[in-house]
Structure 1
């Protein structure tokens, strides 16, 4: 971030903000003194905000006179304070005591890390997400958190997006919604395009880096993202958010809630539509979703039913842009043509379209998918110190890729040639659909011991049983020459069944006033079966265009974890942890293996984390001013055995191909901090990760003459940094500059300069202005300008390298360019 921009924001007038006097403070758990994120702040009975991830809150201005400030949090007795409107800032500290009603968050607490678990984590509140939510996908709302790199196939953050944490793709990031696994059971990816605008329903979110705590679903090999939508809003509300921006991007959201009805019931809902043409040509997205929840709450019982659904139609953009379309090189273009990467006509079109080139031209070359989620949650108090959380869930998914295929052989679709007179026609143009039709269902539970009188010991015993059924098949819906086929001619079929169950026990024990220990042990068993054939006509193993992909594997993993914490002083802590994570290969590791490959091996990770945390809520500064400071430094060492690393290549539906490497590691330091001045009217937050990501004794057998050596893991930048400068110069007006820097990344594991993503730095600008007219509770206007400096960069790509027509090794790189300067403007109304 440039210094002139920071200086300009710092010099904006701030005097008007004190005209009526702000009130700020912290809300903590009266037992543990830990901050309570998401507590509701009411002024004279009207909601005016909520606490952030650390439990801090701020009421920008309180008019002159006496007022009642009330803080509520489900599961705790409300706290009330009298405040006086006055010119100066006021600081409050409130400790809430557990009440008779269970916390909705108890349903996900079993998977959350805290200051006792000795792990690296970041809490993100509803308000943090709302600041950035102009319609882009969830990864873009998390872009400023440590070690995160995001990318978008369509280039503008809508549609297919991806997130990497510590260089690990989302196949190694465990995602849960209310404790229910979101990752696809076979591919292990979390396709957030299937749950558009989920962020609008999120009440809190936690990112754990490294192995973290025991999770439902697969193991976390780089991080986990635990999402909660379980809060109960006791006051009735209705609001709408509408955004419009570059590339005809629209977001329309309506949210509503009944508040507490008849003392025991709550009802909440959301309807959303997000649509965009995308920055890339023919990369449109049309996304729709809903969220509905009904809750019952009485004394020590909480019962909540949640259903949400997403339907997406996205034009396929997973082929990316060939390198010569970015550089304009005619020589490089000819290499792509000579090696049959593109036809002459396609290559010429790529030069004309440049960095917005889209390989596909068929008007319905689309991905169509719908995913329906159903969750039933129960939290039940069992005496003074125990509570039980249990969840039953069902996810129903179905959809297809539709593709135009030119000049395909009949034999590769299981059809005979067409004979017309003396002529035998062996090829045809056709349109096919590759279908997925699946069910994912199961249950989770957690028995929690949380004594109120003595919190030295906290313990959880939990587990889950989940089953996944998935049919994979292909249909021909049109052909120039039909042969003996019919409409929806099925040309391959395989079904998959995966059963996954786990049990874990976890406890924290405060041995001494300053010293605490943490232990966590999980046993996980997986049984995975595939029966049938897959359409892979280019595979050496193919017979009439199909390959037998039958797979039958069983795995049992034991994953222990341990940690220690030591309080140096008030607000300062040292911590360390050691954890083992193991996980099974994904579907593509079995089905896309080359001839002669016996199959992928399971991976094992040993993760050491150690660090320092400090928080000073009120520190003297210049000229008698006060400031709040938060710092964290974390060291990590992640040692892998048989890690599955991306080769840089993709299969025909955009899935990254991977290979086992015997030994590899990631090690580095994560630094983060935040300074807030003038009762949070001006703040600076920053984080940076310096890392070393290496494979030992790596040799790429597909590259002739490649020798074994230590090399860099693909898609693993050595530096990732983010900076946010935010200020409130006037009442209701907040301005922010957001900077992001990512060092170069390699597209494969050879660390070749010919196959890499260049380093990039981008800056975004955000402004939000809210006011309260007499006819509605609040109106908020917002503007987000992405890539203010108009940088031209690519955040993702893939590569193939093989001998060219002249016999020399040549690289064929494809990139996913991100949009230049673009904007999103929003209008929000709360009724």
Structure 2
């Protein structure tokens, strides 16, 4: 690999005179007062590329050769449009904005975004960066190079069900919003992006906040927040299509269009997409369809925008993973699985035949089928020169089922009578069932922002939300070998859930001294959660839960010099248990406790678009962030799953995550650039007691000891080396490393995911024919070293009759070397 990387670096460093591109930097100030305008949006050729910092400074690492449009906008000011010419040396633009501009979409996400004044750890990913990474894989894979991120895919290749972990926390602890509207499922807390395929093609920007971050609508952030915005205003008409084909018969096709600004007030944007794949794993196919439509009206002080987007997915179930012998080929271990009833003789034969691509299911319609429709109405209203209001109404409609073939099931488990044939009584049958979800999520959010134009030393936001979630859970038998007394679509269980969640928060930043800033944020959140009925095992899951949380946050920033900042913050986050924490326990057991997190973040930021530092056109950024996340009653994964692949969890009294995140970026006139991030962490449970069960299902409890939290690697790194060896051709090598992850909290290497590293190669080449704006050819080769690795798994153990402990591991192998090739056309 060392030879490969050195060869790639040599290729990228070739000095071609055709590059002729360099950085553009500058300041943005108020034309009347001369004060800096922090948070102004910088767009290059219509793509959000940067934002001004607390001193009004911005920098673009590279502007390609040719003439480009640079647009600078800020809430309450007239936008400024400048033409810039890409050149090898640095350009500096000092600009002023006149008050009175048209509101833009950025005003609507101001309340949920962090900036250099909020003393938190965050990363911004703009439309251009997403487009470079987008070959049809799910959004987590597009964020894979951001700090502390680990991703995995059930089907093995990034399409279908995927998951993201940040600082060891999976998506149930990651607050995710789209335009400030909660996306996390209200009951499971998960964000299932498989329901919104190709959403990335409609995103204008993403901000990833690590730790508790700022107050957000929806569930609490216990590892991070991902704030998605689709609200940009593209003033020029456009038409685009993206088409991808790759390994495992993977296809992505979409078409996007926009009218631009009509009559100075109206915009219409839309997209249709389809993504399909057979999957790396056998019988792990996905058929995904989606649309996005937005219509907006804007005037001097008003922006009104209606947005609807929807996704429909059909995925063959791959959430069981593969048993360990499929990876090792160990026949003795395979026999152990057979003897324990984990596998039949026929399945064991298929394990040896299919190997690491083994699929547990063979029924032809063992599929998950779900549709999710989103409707959002956004208003941004200027209220004089210093105030603006952002508000939204939303409705999400979700419905669907997954279908299962079940062998040799008891009639009584499905509320059916035994069948008498002649003198024989049958107590079991083969059948096909469907488990349904049918839900509505609706509510409203608001944020009142105070941003004085005459003096930006003090800024404040007051906001909140009210949301309600109604969800019916039920199961139907659609076929049975012996029908008993059931009718077609016999319903064998039903329960309904209602969850009401409302919150209010206030946040302010104050520049106390020219170099010293202070930040404060308080949130009150109240939740009421009711479940009535029985679950599929006929267990009564009636639940009544009430929570009220007070979550304060505070921080400070100190400017050491131009482009250098120290920051520190302390935040409290609290959240309620998820549905499975109640339903996967014995009837009436509501002992799952709410979690509390106290998060300290502190760090140093350095940004220097300075030609004198390393040479003309050099851009250098560096950040070091220390975090200490201390939990009480943290709900951690036990390593086991329920029957739909959801991780089972248990409260642990005391635990922590502590570490340092190092990120850096250097670009030499954009001839070659290197971005890198490294996370070193220690993730521990204090006084953890491992519990296994004997053959009589009695618990066997180990002595308490300190242990590593499950699914929490101590080392995560990501590195991208990119350059332009010839004009319009960009080449990138992407390296990812993840250290050992334990499948449960026992810190037992026999129940763990081995460390792994992957290298990807990305090529993009742009053509500019006279009859089109652009044709772009792309190639992504994943895992070019052809490593066989797994990125996720689960485990469980029990004590057998002999007194020895038996362990069974299941893993989710990821694809070996594979490719995705794309053709994009812009009209």
> Of 706, 715, 719, which aligns to 2:715?
719
For residues 805 and 768 of structure 1, the distance between their equivalents in structure 2, rounded to whole angstroms, comes to 60
TM-score (norm 1): 0.95
1:509 maps onto 2:510 in alignment: yes
Structure 2 match to 1:770: 766
8 Å contact 2:48–2:205 — kept in the other structure? Answer: no
Please list the CA deviations of residues 195-233 of structure 1 after superposition, one character each: whole Å capped at 9, or x if unmatched: 101110000110000000001001000000000000000
**CA shift at 1:108, angstroms?**
1.2
1:522 maps onto 2:520 in alignment: no
> Which deviates further from its counterpart, 689-698 or 596-605?
596-605
For residues 278 and 218 of structure 1, the distance between their equivalents in structure 2, rounded to whole angstroms, comes to 32
TM-score (norm 2): 0.95
1:682 maps onto 2:672 in alignment: yes
Structure 1 match to 2:656: 665
**CA shift at 1:477, angstroms?**
0.4
For residues 741 and 695 of structure 1, the distance between their equivalents in structure 2, rounded to whole angstroms, comes to 24
For residues 823 and 381 of structure 2, the distance between their equivalents in structure 1, rounded to whole angstroms, comes to 40
8 Å contact 2:23–2:59 — kept in the other structure? Answer: no
For residues 610 and 509 of structure 2, the distance between their equivalents in structure 1, rounded to whole angstroms, comes to 29
SS of 1:193's equivalent in the other structure is: helix
**CA shift at 1:77, angstroms?**
2.9
Please list the CA deviations of residues 1-39 of structure 1 after superposition, one character each: whole Å capped at 9, or x if unmatched: 7365245434457544447x4354136543675776863
Structure 2 match to 1:138: 139
Structure 2 match to 1:600: 592
Please list the CA deviations of residues 665-721 of structure 1 after superposition, one character each: whole Å capped at 9, or x if unmatched: 00000000000002x221001000000000000102326351100000000000000
Structure 1 match to 2:55: none
For residues 761 and 71 of structure 2, the distance between their equivalents in structure 1, rounded to whole angstroms, comes to 32
8 Å contact 1:10–1:682 — kept in the other structure? Answer: no
Please list the CA deviations of residues 328-368 of structure 1 after superposition, one character each: whole Å capped at 9, or x if unmatched: 01110111111111112111211211100000000000000
1:138-177 correspondence to structure 2 within 5 Å: 138-177=139-178
Structure 2 match to 1:540: none
**CA shift at 1:72, angstroms?**
4.5
**CA shift at 1:74, angstroms?**
6.8
Structure 1 match to 2:318: 317
1:93 maps onto 2:93 in alignment: yes
| Cα gap change, 1:328 to 1:450, in 2 (>3 Å) | same
For residues 69 and 216 of structure 2, the distance between their equivalents in structure 1, rounded to whole angstroms, comes to 38
Structure 2 match to 1:543: none
8 Å contact 1:379–1:390 — kept in the other structure? Answer: yes
8 Å contact 2:178–2:228 — kept in the other structure? Answer: yes
Structure 2 match to 1:539: none
8 Å contact 2:408–2:429 — kept in the other structure? Answer: yes
- Kindly report the root-mean-square deviation, in angstroms, between the aligned alpha carbons of the 2 structures: 1.8
| Cα gap change, 1:24 to 1:164, in 2 (>3 Å) | same
1:450-489 correspondence to structure 2 within 5 Å: 450-489=451-490
Please list the CA deviations of residues 128-184 of structure 1 after superposition, one character each: whole Å capped at 9, or x if unmatched: 111110000000000000000000000000000000000001000000000000000
8 Å contact 1:27–1:39 — kept in the other structure? Answer: no
For residues 648 and 61 of structure 1, the distance between their equivalents in structure 2, rounded to whole angstroms, comes to 53
1:590 maps onto 2:582 in alignment: yes
For residues 387 and 40 of structure 2, the distance between their equivalents in structure 1, rounded to whole angstroms, comes to 22
**CA shift at 1:779, angstroms?**
0.3
For residues 354 and 37 of structure 1, the distance between their equivalents in structure 2, rounded to whole angstroms, comes to 54
SS of 1:128's equivalent in the other structure is: helix
| Cα gap change, 1:10 to 1:625, in 2 (>3 Å) | farther
List gaps (5 residues or longer) in structure 2.
Answer: 52-57, 694-699
**CA shift at 1:749, angstroms?**
0.3
> Of 634, 638, 654, which aligns to 2:625?
634
Structure 2 match to 1:335: 336
8 Å contact 1:738–1:764 — kept in the other structure? Answer: yes
Structure 1 match to 2:539: 547
SS of 1:711's equivalent in the other structure is: strand
Structure 2 match to 1:448: 449
8 Å contact 1:38–1:125 — kept in the other structure? Answer: no
SS of 1:548's equivalent in the other structure is: coil
For residues 179 and 665 of structure 1, the distance between their equivalents in structure 2, rounded to whole angstroms, comes to 29
SS of 1:117's equivalent in the other structure is: coil
8 Å contact 1:37–1:125 — kept in the other structure? Answer: no
Structure 1 match to 2:568: 576
| Cα gap change, 1:697 to 1:595, in 2 (>3 Å) | farther
8 Å contact 2:271–2:292 — kept in the other structure? Answer: yes
**CA shift at 1:78, angstroms?**
3.6
8 Å contact 1:394–1:439 — kept in the other structure? Answer: yes
For residues 444 and 314 of structure 1, the distance between their equivalents in structure 2, rounded to whole angstroms, comes to 33
| Cα gap change, 1:96 to 1:212, in 2 (>3 Å) | farther
8 Å contact 1:366–1:402 — kept in the other structure? Answer: yes
List gaps (5 residues or longer) in structure 1.
Answer: 537-545
> Of 26, 38, 42, which aligns to 1:39?
42
Structure 2 match to 1:383: 384
| Cα gap change, 1:656 to 1:37, in 2 (>3 Å) | farther
SS of 1:116's equivalent in the other structure is: coil
Structure 1 match to 2:5: 5
| Cα gap change, 1:564 to 1:621, in 2 (>3 Å) | closer
| Cα gap change, 1:93 to 1:607, in 2 (>3 Å) | same
> Of 693, 698, 709, which aligns to 2:683?
693
1:59 maps onto 2:63 in alignment: yes
For residues 472 and 82 of structure 1, the distance between their equivalents in structure 2, rounded to whole angstroms, comes to 57
| Cα gap change, 1:316 to 1:38, in 2 (>3 Å) | farther
For residues 421 and 746 of structure 1, the distance between their equivalents in structure 2, rounded to whole angstroms, comes to 54
8 Å contact 2:431–2:477 — kept in the other structure? Answer: yes
| Cα gap change, 1:33 to 1:329, in 2 (>3 Å) | farther
Please list the CA deviations of residues 450-496 of structure 1 after superposition, one character each: whole Å capped at 9, or x if unmatched: 01110000000000000000000000000000001011000000000
> Which deviates further from its counterpart, 598-607 or 69-78?
69-78
Structure 1 match to 2:602: 610
> Which deviates further from its counterpart, 419-428 or 186-195?
419-428
8 Å contact 1:150–1:162 — kept in the other structure? Answer: yes
| Cα gap change, 1:177 to 1:670, in 2 (>3 Å) | same
8 Å contact 2:12–2:731 — kept in the other structure? Answer: no
- Aligned pair count reads 809
**CA shift at 1:83, angstroms?**
5.5
1:798 maps onto 2:785 in alignment: no
For residues 96 and 684 of structure 1, the distance between their equivalents in structure 2, rounded to whole angstroms, comes to 32
| Cα gap change, 1:230 to 1:409, in 2 (>3 Å) | same
8 Å contact 2:48–2:126 — kept in the other structure? Answer: no
1:561 maps onto 2:553 in alignment: yes
Structure 2 match to 1:542: none
1:249 maps onto 2:260 in alignment: no
Structure 2 match to 1:817: 813
| Cα gap change, 1:599 to 1:453, in 2 (>3 Å) | same
**CA shift at 1:621, angstroms?**
5.7
8 Å contact 1:648–1:800 — kept in the other structure? Answer: yes
**CA shift at 1:608, angstroms?**
0.3
**CA shift at 1:807, angstroms?**
3.8
| Cα gap change, 1:692 to 1:450, in 2 (>3 Å) | same
8 Å contact 1:35–1:55 — kept in the other structure? Answer: no
| Cα gap change, 1:464 to 1:96, in 2 (>3 Å) | farther
For residues 74 and 306 of structure 2, the distance between their equivalents in structure 1, rounded to whole angstroms, comes to 17
**CA shift at 1:52, angstroms?**
4.4
| Cα gap change, 1:411 to 1:27, in 2 (>3 Å) | farther
Structure 1 match to 2:641: 650
| Cα gap change, 1:163 to 1:301, in 2 (>3 Å) | same
8 Å contact 1:301–1:378 — kept in the other structure? Answer: yes
8 Å contact 1:17–1:729 — kept in the other structure? Answer: no
8 Å contact 2:23–2:609 — kept in the other structure? Answer: no
